[in-house]
Amino acid sequence: MARILVVDDDAHIRDVVRFALEKAGHAISEAADGRAALDQWAASGTDLIVLDILMPETDGLDVCRQVRQRDDVPILFLSSRDEELDRVLGLELGADDYLTKPFSPRELVARVKGILRRTRAPERECYARQAIDRGALRVDVDRHTCTWLGEPVVLTVTEFDLLHAMLGMAGKVYTRSEIVERAYGQGHHITDRTVDSHIRRIRKKFKAHGPDPIETVYGLGYRLIVDPAAGESCA
């Protein structure tokens, strides 16, 4: 069972989401606007936030921005618009997934299940339970920490998983589909654009401490360049 905060100004949508997720065994709390959502999130433990974008008071993008300043709780965005700008901006802010209205309750439950499966530490059996050093990059799975050039880099759960997926073989080029499969296993429907948005966010965090260790190999995917002496990677 997970504690899920459902945030939407449409009472009917909240009812649909609550019914579907409670039927799946989760404990649900609700908020009708962004300000109330931030108050509830700050006051009680939350394992996942289902968050509408277009809301009064404080919109979903701003809620996500404020949450990400202090927490890496998984966020699933809902939106009545399927505009690319909304999708990319939400992912750039650190959302873990995105679902467009109208949506199937079954699809919603599947997305929530997928997010929880890959973000709950006891279930992440594919990881070696030890710190991994790749040149100037250190990833500690048990502590869910990452350092680059000796400086801590704070990653969301999704960002951490995607980075870890590229640590298997030094210098190897991983396609986007390989990254997703290594991070989450088969059967996850994550678009190339979603992977690109998350990796762009990871790279921005690394660049705050020195050369970017992720290289884009155009037409193929990404690889890690973990020796800072190699210089800046491609844009």
Report the percent of the chain where pLDDT is more than 90: 34
Q: Structural domain of residue 118, as residue ranges?
A: 3-123
Task: Of 88-92, 177-181, 182-186, 220-224, give the range with the top mean pLDDT.
Answer: 220-224
Say yes or no to pLDDT of 231 above 60.
Answer: no
DSSP 8-state symbol, 181: H
* Number of other residues whose CB lies within 10 A of the CB of residue 53: 26
On the 0-12 / 13-18 / 19+ scale of CB atoms within 10 A, 71 is middle
Residues 97 and 77: beta-carbon distance below 8 Å? yes
Q: Is the peptide bond before 122 cis (omega within 30 degrees of 0)?
A: no
Residues 32, 189: Cα–Cα separation, whole Å: 29
Which CATH number do you get for residue 24?
3.40.50.2300
Residues 17, 76, single domain; the answer is yes
Q: Where are the strands (E) in the chain, listed by range?
A: 3-7, 27-31, 48-52, 75-79, 97-100, 131-134, 137-140, 145-148, 151-152, 174-175, 214-217, 221-224
CA 141/CA 132 separation, integer angstroms: 8
Look at 191 and 222; give whichever has higher pLDDT.
Answer: 222
Please tell me whether residues 16 and 54 are part of one structural domain: yes
Q: Which of 209, 74, 194 is nearest to 153 (CA)?
A: 209
Count of the separate structural domains present in the chain: 2
Coil, strand, or helix at residue 51? Answer: strand
Instruction: Give me the percent of the chain exceeding a pLDDT of 70.
Output: 83
Q: Is residue 235 assigned to a domain?
A: no
pLDDT of residue 99: 86
Same domain, 11 and 114: yes
Taking only the tens place, the pLDDT of each residue in 18-65 is 999 999 999 999 999 999 999 999 888 899 999 998 888 788 989 998
* Residue 141 and residue 45 share a domain: no
Amino acid at position 39, single letter: D
State both tokens at 133: 């050093």
By the 10 Å C-beta count (0-12 exposed, 13-18 middle, 19+ buried), 84 is classed as exposed
In a domain, 157, yes or no: yes
| Integer Cα distance of 191 and 99 in angstroms | 12
Per residue in 113-154, pLDDT (tens digit) is 888 877 765 444 444 456 788 888 888 887 888 999 989 998
CATH code, domain carrying 202:
1.10.10.10
Give the full edge-to-edge strand order of the sheet including 145-148.
131-134, 137-140, 145-148, 151-152
Structure tokens at 174: 């991983």
Q: What is the pTM of this model?
A: 0.62
- One-letter amino acid of 52: D
Does 42 share its domain with 117? yes
